[in-house]
Amino acid sequence: MASAVRDRRAVIGLDWVLRIISFLAIIVSLYLLTQNQFLVYSLGNLSSVSLGSVGALFILSDYSFSKNRGMDRLNSMVFAILFCGAFLWIYEVIYHFSFPVSAITVSALGNGARFLAIAALPILPLVLLRQRLAFTKKSAVLFGVFVLMWVVWFLYGFPQYTYCCNGNWYAWTPILKTSNPWDTSLFFNFGSKTVLAVFFASILKISYLKETENGIRRFLLSLRHLFLAS
């Protein structure tokens, strides 16, 4: 009994530590973006937007899963981490296969298949979480915006801010023209990632946003009853 209590306290403590780290990650991400620092080199060149998105998604998903019946604190924490990993890898898979292949060879096909197989592993937890997620109309709109942004990015030639030192900004031949490929690349790269993060947040059945909306609704109803009573 005593060991069970200690384990529970340890899990709660670790969960709060991860929540605090996630909150700090959001603050650091916003600070780096204001300083025009788009990559966190100490974290393997993780983008600043990814850092903030993961922090926000962990807080939201951990809260959401902890409010679902049949999932204890430890499972909600672990699945929140896996949920964030799925977000990162889905974006990486789409991004990876958006670049042209110089030559279709057996080696290239093998490398692509290996990357896809390895990347699929972090995405599999979404299958286990399917009953705790909800694809709503808002989710459909957000997913549509993400796809639209990706298509327009392609029409601009899929410019990359990391190509600035190579003299050629574009991965594909651009159809639409831009006088500032740097800003275009930043907008679509970070903008599409942000939209995908918001999409992931929208498929959570319980979120801080929903709780806030319900709280505001209850507050307004109480004011209405108080006004009618007077």
Q: Which pLDDT does position 196 carry in this prediction?
A: 95
pTM, entire model? 0.81
- 190 touches 146 (CB < 8 A): no
Type of residue found at 219? F
Report the alpha-carbon distance of residue 55 to residue 207 in Å, rounded: 14
Where in the sequence is the domain holding 188, given as residue range(s)?
135-203
pLDDT for 222 equals 63
DSSP conformational letter for 40: E
Is residue 230 in a domain? no
| Helix, coil or strand: residue 39 | strand
Looking at the structure, tell me whether residues 34 and 128 fall in a common domain: yes
> How far apart (Å, rounded) are the C-alpha atoms in residues 87 and 95?
12
Residues 84 and 165 reside in one and the same domain: no
Does 59 share its domain with 127?
A: yes
Domain match, 27 and 78 both: yes
pLDDT at 135: 87
Per-residue pLDDT of the chain (230 residues; tens, 9 = 90+): 566 667 678 888 888 999 999 999 999 999 998 888 888 888 777 889 999 999 999 999 998 888 776 678 888 899 999 999 999 989 988 888 888 765 445 555 666 677 777 777 778 888 888 888 888 899 999 999 999 999 999 999 999 877 665 667 888 888 998 888 888 988 999 999 999 999 999 999 764 455 555 555 665 666 566 556 55
- Is residue 168 domain-resident? yes
Residues 15 and 68 reside in one and the same domain:
yes
**212 belongs to a structural domain:** no
Last residue in a domain, options 112, 133, 154: 133
Domain boundary among 109, 133, 157: 133
Q: What is the pLDDT of residue 103?
A: 47
Residues 54 and 148 in one domain: no
d(CA 38, CA 49): 8
| Residue at 82 is within a domain | yes
Burial of 128 (0-12, 13-18, 19+ CB in 10 A): exposed
Examine the domain organization and report whether 77 and 175 are in the same domain.
Answer: no
10/119 same-domain check: yes
State how many domains the chain has: 2
DSSP 101: P
Write down the pLDDT at residue 50: 92
Rounded CA separation 110/132 (Å) = 35
Q: Does 47 share its domain with 61?
A: yes
State whether 9 and 41 are in the same domain.
yes
Inside any domain, residue 215: no
Residue 224 lies in a domain: no
The residue out of 114, 133, 152 marking a domain boundary is: 133
Which residues 6+ apart lie within 8 Å of 146 measured at CB?
192, 195, 196, 199
At residue 167, the pLDDT reads 64
Same domain, 145 and 114: no
For residue 188, the model assigns a pLDDT of: 93
Predicted confidence at residue 203, as pLDDT, reads 92
Residues 163 and 169: beta-carbon distance below 8 Å: yes
Q: Are residues 91 and 160 in the same domain?
A: no
